[in-house]
Amino acid sequence: MPSVTSSIDIASLPHAVWDLVSDPKRYPEWVEVTDRMIDVPAEALREGSIYTEYAGLWPFKSESTWRITAFEPHRRQVHLGDDGTAEVELTMLIEPTDEGSRFTQTLDLRFRGVAALLMVAAWPLVMRRRMQRAVDRSVANARDLTETAAR
């Protein structure tokens, strides 16, 4: 199963990072691959919450539905997404540090059907690097937003 991970140190307290990653309306601001949110819960996120977004790496953009499968306030969230061709497990982990927080995102991807066949060749040649850059930029965007808000 292909996977990418990125971590970054953030000069903000864990609750500030948690507030950002727990607000799906704000995902287009910092998640590199998210173009727009289609449907988000009216209430605060929790285990079992469902949301829908339009996202992806060009030319693989599509609508996907996500369900939160684990929710440990101020520490860890796991979101399970599906766009019909792949299932993506996104884990967001926030750890306190002496200077603020460390934010880690891990994407585990499970392709199926024709997408699985295409990814056998495309993942090591192109897609892994593109996905890694997108995750690296997302955690950097989260850092920039939370550090700016803390000033």
List, in order of start, the domains of the chain with CATH numbers: 3-150 (3.30.530.20)
Q: Is 50 helix (H, G, I), strand (E, B) or coil?
A: strand
- Asked if 14 and 94 touch (Cβ cutoff 8 Å), the reply is yes
Residue predicted with more confidence, 121 or 75 = 75
Task: Output the pTM of the full model.
Answer: 0.90
Where helices occur in 13-113 by DSSP H, the ranges are 14-21, 27-30
* The pLDDT value given to residue 90: 97
- Report residue 24's pLDDT band, with 50, 70 and 90 as the boundaries: very high
State mean pLDDT over 86-100: 95
Token couple for 138: 């997302």
Residue 58 has pLDDT above 60, yes or no: yes
How many Cβ atoms sit within 10 Å of the Cβ of residue 12?
24
